[in-house]
Protein backbone atom coordinates (compact mmCIF):
# COMPACT_ATOMS: atom_id res chain seq x y z
CA UNK A 1 0.00 0.00 0.00
CA UNK A 2 1.29 3.46 -0.91
CA UNK A 3 1.43 6.02 1.89
CA UNK A 4 -0.49 9.25 1.34
CA UNK A 5 1.52 12.20 0.03
CA UNK A 6 1.58 15.74 1.30
CA UNK A 7 -0.34 18.40 -0.60
CA UNK A 8 1.45 19.40 -3.79
CA UNK A 9 1.08 23.00 -4.93
CA UNK A 10 1.24 23.45 -8.69
CA UNK A 11 0.77 26.13 -11.33
CA UNK A 12 -1.31 25.37 -14.43
CA UNK A 13 0.44 26.76 -17.52
CA UNK A 14 -0.09 25.92 -21.19
CA UNK A 15 -2.16 22.85 -20.35
CA UNK A 16 0.36 21.36 -17.89
CA UNK A 17 0.38 21.28 -14.08
CA UNK A 18 3.87 22.33 -12.96
CA UNK A 19 4.67 21.53 -9.30
CA UNK A 20 6.09 24.41 -7.27
CA UNK A 21 8.33 22.06 -5.26
CA UNK A 22 10.05 18.71 -5.74
CA UNK A 23 7.63 15.78 -5.91
CA UNK A 24 9.08 12.40 -5.00
CA UNK A 25 7.40 10.05 -7.45
CA UNK A 26 8.89 7.67 -10.00
CA UNK A 27 8.97 8.92 -13.60
CA UNK A 28 5.80 8.24 -15.60
CA UNK A 29 3.92 7.34 -12.41
CA UNK A 30 0.21 7.75 -12.92
CA UNK A 31 -1.50 9.93 -10.31
CA UNK A 32 -5.02 11.06 -9.61
CA UNK A 33 -5.97 14.43 -8.19
CA UNK A 34 -8.77 16.96 -7.99
CA UNK A 35 -7.52 20.48 -8.77
CA UNK A 36 -8.66 23.16 -6.33
CA UNK A 37 -7.71 26.77 -7.19
CA UNK A 38 -5.93 28.42 -4.27
CA UNK A 39 -6.43 31.99 -5.53
CA UNK A 40 -7.50 33.58 -8.79
CA UNK A 41 -4.65 34.28 -11.25
CA UNK A 42 -3.05 37.68 -10.71
CA UNK A 43 -4.73 38.25 -7.33
CA UNK A 44 -1.40 38.16 -5.50
CA UNK A 45 0.14 40.70 -7.88
CA UNK A 46 -2.63 43.22 -7.20
CA UNK A 47 -2.52 42.67 -3.45
CA UNK A 48 1.22 43.22 -3.38
CA UNK A 49 0.99 46.40 -5.42
CA UNK A 50 -1.54 47.79 -2.90
CA UNK A 51 0.78 46.89 -0.01
CA UNK A 52 3.77 48.51 -1.71
CA UNK A 53 1.71 51.64 -2.40
CA UNK A 54 0.89 51.93 1.30
CA UNK A 55 4.49 51.27 2.33
CA UNK A 56 5.77 53.91 -0.07
CA UNK A 57 3.71 56.64 1.64
CA UNK A 58 5.77 58.85 3.91
CA UNK A 59 4.59 59.13 7.49
CA UNK A 60 5.38 62.41 9.21
CA UNK A 61 5.41 61.95 12.98
CA UNK A 62 6.78 65.39 13.78
CA UNK A 63 9.66 63.74 15.63
CA UNK A 64 13.00 64.94 14.25
CA UNK A 65 15.49 62.79 16.18
CA UNK A 66 13.96 59.34 16.55
CA UNK A 67 17.33 57.78 17.43
CA UNK A 68 17.50 59.89 20.59
CA UNK A 69 14.41 58.06 21.89
CA UNK A 70 15.24 54.54 20.65
CA UNK A 71 15.27 52.87 24.10
CA UNK A 72 12.61 55.03 25.76
CA UNK A 73 10.30 52.04 26.31
CA UNK A 74 12.98 49.57 27.41
CA UNK A 75 12.87 48.29 31.02
Global model pTM greater than 0.85:
no
Residue-wise pLDDT for 6-57, tens only, equals 888 898 889 999 999 998 889 999 988 888 888 766 555 667 778 888 888 8
Cβ–Cβ < 8 Å for 9, 15: no
Using the predicted structure, report yes or no on whether residue 1 has a pLDDT greater than 60. Answer: no
**Residues in a beta bridge with 16:** 13
Amino acid sequence: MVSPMKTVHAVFEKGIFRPREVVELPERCEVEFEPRPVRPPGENDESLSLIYAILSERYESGERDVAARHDEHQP
